[in-house]
């Protein structure tokens, strides 16, 4: 039979198992001082709410890197289990854009992980407030995509107005390639018959060796006494 002293310890262990583990995630680009500042903020937040961080994930990586290619996506997300909790300094730490942040939050929600955001003292869980916030973020992501698409269209319009080609480079058609040398067809065949090399033919008719070689191949013209 458990003693009176052992009972609280077992209850605490059972509660911890039900509550899951608490993780803290910090990310900065290069500034170590900012990393320390984020950590202090998380410590103060956790202390005020009687939360004990079980594991810290810290990384220095540019915010332009997709979340799936950081420790966040490769180390942290795969190990999170239902009822775990994640503390972050601010939502921007979770992604490089609103769309990216929303995608990470969706994964956390699917894993039933409670997210604490120090900046703004927000808690994202199954509550109605969290669902409202997710809806707002979803709208923000949609707006961001629309703005990016609009800026892209405006940029293309400006480039087109300036006479720049939009899209892939135009493919040079066979008839366009032929027209450059076809007017010299008789001269090319005559010189080739005399043994003038492809390189010298290209020099004479002011084109590159590959263009001349392709023209000769298409017209089945052979260089007399050409070494093969």
pLDDT tens digits, one per residue of 90-110: 888 888 777 788 888 888 988
3-state secondary structure of 5: coil
Strands 122-124 and 114-117: antiparallel
**Which stretches within the chain are classed as H helix?**
6-19, 32-48, 71, 77-79, 98-110, 128-161, 174-182, 185-193, 198-204, 209-218
For the chain, state the CA radius of gyration.
Answer: 33
The tokens for 37 are 């500042």
Q: What pLDDT does 132 receive?
A: 73
Catalytic: 134? no
Select which of 29, 62, 127, 179 is catalytic. Answer: 29
Q: Is the pLDDT of residue 172 over 60?
A: no
Q: Residue 30 and residue 161: Cα distance in Å, rounded?
A: 41
Which tens digit of pLDDT belongs to each residue from 40-84? 999 999 999 999 999 999 988 877 788 888 889 899 999 999 999
pLDDT category of residue 227 using cuts at 50, 70 and 90: very low
């Amino acid at each position: 039979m458990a003693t009176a002293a052992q009972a609280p310890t077992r209850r605490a262990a059972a509660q911890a198992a039900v509550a899951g583990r608490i993780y803290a995630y910090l990310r900065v680009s290069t500034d170590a001082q900012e990393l320390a500042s984020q950590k202090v903020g998380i410590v103060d937040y956790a202390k005020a709410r009687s939360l004990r961080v079980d594991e810290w994930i810290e990384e220095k990586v540019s915010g332009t890197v997709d979340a799936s290619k950081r420790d966040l996506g490769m180390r942290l997300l795969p190990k999170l289990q239902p009822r775990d909790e994640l503390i972050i300094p601010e939502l921007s730490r979770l992604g490089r854009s609103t769309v990216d942040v929303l995608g990470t939050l969706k994964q956390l929600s699917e894993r039933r992980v409670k997210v604490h955001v120090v900046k703004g003292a927000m808690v994202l869980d199954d509550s109605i407030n969290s669902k409202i916030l997710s809806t707002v973020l979803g709208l923000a992501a949609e707006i961001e995509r629309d703005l990016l698409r609009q800026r892209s269209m405006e940029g293309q319009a400006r480039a087109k107005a300036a006479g720049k080609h939009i899209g892939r480079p135009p493919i040079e058609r066979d008839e366009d390639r032929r027209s450059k040398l076809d007017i010299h067809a008789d001269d090319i065949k005559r010189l080739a018959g005399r043994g003038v090399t492809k390189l010298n033919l290209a020099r004479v008719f002011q084109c590159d060796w590959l263009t001349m070689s392709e023209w000769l191949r298409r017209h089945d013209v052979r260089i007399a006494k050409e070494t093969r």
